[in-house]
Amino acid sequence: MERVVVISVHPDDETLGCGGTILKHLKKGDEVHCVLVTSGNSEQTVIWNKVKTAFGFTSVIELDFPELDLADISLNKLIPAFADVFNKIKPTVLYLPNRSDVHSDHQAVFKAVSACTKAFRYPFIEKVLMCEVISETDFALPVPEAVFVPNYFVDITDEMQKKLEIFKLYESELLPYPSTRNESTITALNRYRGSLIGSEYAEAFVSLKTIVR
């Protein structure tokens, strides 16, 4: 059994970035702990309660940092919050935001979480994966160091329908086509990622660390 920690900077990042993978872990009997870094607005809080029930996380940790201000918060405040969570849960697998996402909150969280993956302090973390969050990862300017090049894929064919059902709970985040944040485009992205591995749907990640013991 794996102990998984998913870092969701804002409500909906967990669903967009690795919703199908979360469901797959839970089907296997793995522990999945979701760390919600910011709470969002009051409407998102109500929706979030429905979302976390729909997933059935092993636990949810809400850090309650202010949305949109994470880049202005000292790493000396962010890092201890994540370190405390990791030392309590001792995750073997970690899903975190892509370091080059266009949202500054995602960038700040990546920096803080990265400090909590050192093997000599957190030897239990054996796998670290960056997520692809539509309209964040793909909107980053395509300078070489910011390009998302996935090298780890999870077949979510059996989980895709439930992933979409959960995302639809975020009604305020659904935008009309051709915006990227709609059912059609999300489905297209996961279908494309699936085609790269010979499956109907998949989620893509960048593997930053894998330890085999």
pLDDT category of residue 129 using cuts at 50, 70 and 90: very high
Write down the residue that tokens 């700040």 correspond to. Answer: 108
Cβ-contact 90, 182 below 8 angstroms: no
CATH code for the domain of 180: 3.40.50.10320
pLDDT of residue 204 exceeding 70, the answer is yes
166/127 Cα distance (integer angstroms): 26
Q: Which H or E element spans position 79?
A: helix 75-89
Quote the pLDDT of residue 145: 82
Check: CB of residue 55 under 8 Å from CB of residue 37: no
Report how many domains make up the chain.
Answer: 1
Would strands 93-97 and 3-8 be described as parallel, antiparallel, or unpaired?
parallel
Residues 70-121 pLDDT 10s? 988 999 999 999 999 999 999 999 999 999 999 999 999 999 999 999 999 9
- The number of beta carbons lying within 10 Å of the beta carbon of residue 174 is 15
What integer best gives the mean pLDDT of the chain?
Answer: 94
pLDDT tops 70 at residue 41: no
For residue 12, what are the domain limits?
3-210
DSSP-derived secondary structure letter, 26:
H
pLDDT band for position 42 (cuts 50, 70, 90): low
